Copies of this chain bind each other. A is one copy, B any other.
Amino acid sequence: MNVIDLRRDFHRYPELGFTEFRTASKVVEVLEGLGFYVLYGEDAIDSNSRRGVPTKRELDEAYARAIKCGANLEIIEKMKGGNTAVVGELKGKKEGPTVAFRFDMDALPIHESNDEDHYPHAEEFSSEFSGNMHACAHDGHTAMGLLLAERLADREFAGTLKLIFQPAEEGGRGGYAMSQKGIVDDVDFLFCSHLGLDLPLGEVHGGNSKFLASSKMKAYFYGVPSHAGGTPEKGRNALLGAATALLNIHAIPRFSGGTTRVNVGILEGGTAANIIASEASMVIDVRSDRAEIKDELEERVKSIVEHCALMHGLTSKIDIIGEATTIQPDLELVSVVLEEAKQIDGFTSFKEDCDISLGSEDASFLIKRVQDRGGKGTYMNIGSPLPAPHHHHKFDIDEAVLPLAVQLLVRIGKRMLT
């Protein structure tokens, strides 16, 4: 296997969160081919804990498309409904710790550029799934994971290697559900990583403590329609409830103990000028650099939604559609990463942490689960310069980072599995 070819293959077939049927099918095939014991479908993820699952129609269309593009029917049959998580396990020849690496597989709903200066287009591996695009390097992550599997497939190590291929990282939708399935409960050391960040090629951060805890929610208001001219008093106005909630959510106070962010990003409701709106919904994002503040923001949003509904005789519900927590990298693993990186030609700049907030990351739930059970974890950044920012339709990585990253993971694996 060649990591660049693999990356280009995944790039060509970008699949949104929980529809990574083709991607996950490939992953399963490779891992099984290498002798891994592979869990997937509902064996790898707690289906009910998933956030923001696509509609049945979206799932079905992606499923059919995956089949056309080479997914293994027998495998994806078990992933129906979007349980596209994969966990591969390989026992070494000796006893030892369980060391896990986590990779995310999903793409974004972005139309990829077809400008001549966009490398994937010029090299003819740009997206064949119009409207979707790997614009956050998860194609590279998945490829790295498979190369790591290949390089350790000889089982010349002590302990157990666990490779976690996670769906639906974007929006914070899959990590929590994999953690809830217990798939990291036996893990002693967990390494997560991200490529890119517009860092210089050769720069590595052993940890990243700057992710914000976040929660994305969708709130629904249900009222009673009525003709606004004829009998306005018989309506129960969902838009009054929703508009009031929007204002009051934005008025949630600042917190002295940490940074906070609050936003109602979408509000929709009503059907006609002269009908009292009987349904409305809004999508809300709250964040903080402290997990407990994020939790309090979430509680305040829930209370506002509930009572804004009740005050107008409405019912309401609120779903968590995405979530992430903070990450506190274990310094021991941070050191391991940096020490191993220093052994590799091509890595030239080494930092323990990064300076800037990278948004949110739901590998945080996997790391937290490991740490809560006494294990250790970290999240490393492996730099690549970028022609355009993450999530941009001209995003791309410098493919030279891929073999470097594989080397780093292999070294970490071999060192820890002793």
Collect the chain B residues with CB atoms within 8 Å of residue A262's CB.
Answer: 228, 254
Q: In A225-243, which residues have CB < 8 Å from any B CB?
A: 228-235, 237, 239-240, 242-243
- A264, CB-defined interface residue at 8 Å: yes
Contact between A254 and B260, CB atoms less than 8 A apart: yes
Contact between B228 and A256, CB atoms less than 8 A apart: no
Collect the chain B residues with CB atoms within 8 Å of residue A357's CB.
Answer: 229-230
Given contacts A246-B239, A248-B240, contact A228 B272 (CB under 8 A): no
Collect the chain B residues with CB atoms within 8 Å of residue A275's CB.
Answer: 263, 265
Collect the chain B residues with CB atoms within 8 Å of residue A250's CB.
Answer: 237, 240, 250-251, 253
Contact between B265 and A267, CB atoms less than 8 A apart: no
Contact between B269 and A267, CB atoms less than 8 A apart: yes
Closest Cβ of chain B to A63, distance in Å, is: 25
Q: Give A319 to B290 CA distance when docked, in angstroms.
A: 37
Contact of A248 among B264, B270, B311 (CB under 8 A): B311
Collect the chain B residues with CB atoms within 8 Å of residue A322's CB.
Answer: 273
- A343, CB-defined interface residue at 8 Å: no
How many copies are assembled?
4
A side interface size, CB within 8 A: 66
Pick out which of these stretches binds chain B: A280-288, A328-336, A345-353.
Answer: A280-288
Which residue of chain B has the shortest Cβ distance to A276 in the bound complex? Answer: B263
Q: Give A216 to B269 CA distance when docked, in angstroms.
A: 17
Given contacts A244-B247, A303-B313, A307-B307, contact A265 B256 (CB under 8 A): no
Q: Give A363 to B304 CA distance when docked, in angstroms.
A: 41
Contact between A240 and B251, CB atoms less than 8 A apart: yes
Q: Give A8 to B305 CA distance when docked, in angstroms.
A: 50
Closest Cβ of chain B to A44, distance in Å, is: 27
Q: Give A204 to B2 CA distance when docked, in angstroms.
A: 65
Contact between B256 and A266, CB atoms less than 8 A apart: no
A interface residues, Cβ below 8 angstroms from B:
212, 214, 216, 228-235, 237, 239-240, 242-244, 246-248, 250-251, 253-257, 259-277, 280, 283-285, 287, 296, 303-304, 306-308, 310-313, 321-322, 357, 359-360
Q: Other CB < 8 Å A-B pairs besides A234-B256, A248-B311, A266-B273, 14 of them?
A: A229-B360, A232-B263, A240-B246, A240-B248, A243-B243, A251-B251, A254-B262, A265-B273, A267-B269, A270-B283, A274-B285, A303-B312, A303-B313, A304-B312
14 CB < 8 A contacts A-B: A229-B261, A230-B357, A232-B253, A233-B254, A233-B256, A234-B256, A237-B250, A240-B246, A240-B248, A244-B244, A244-B248, A263-B275, A273-B322, A303-B311
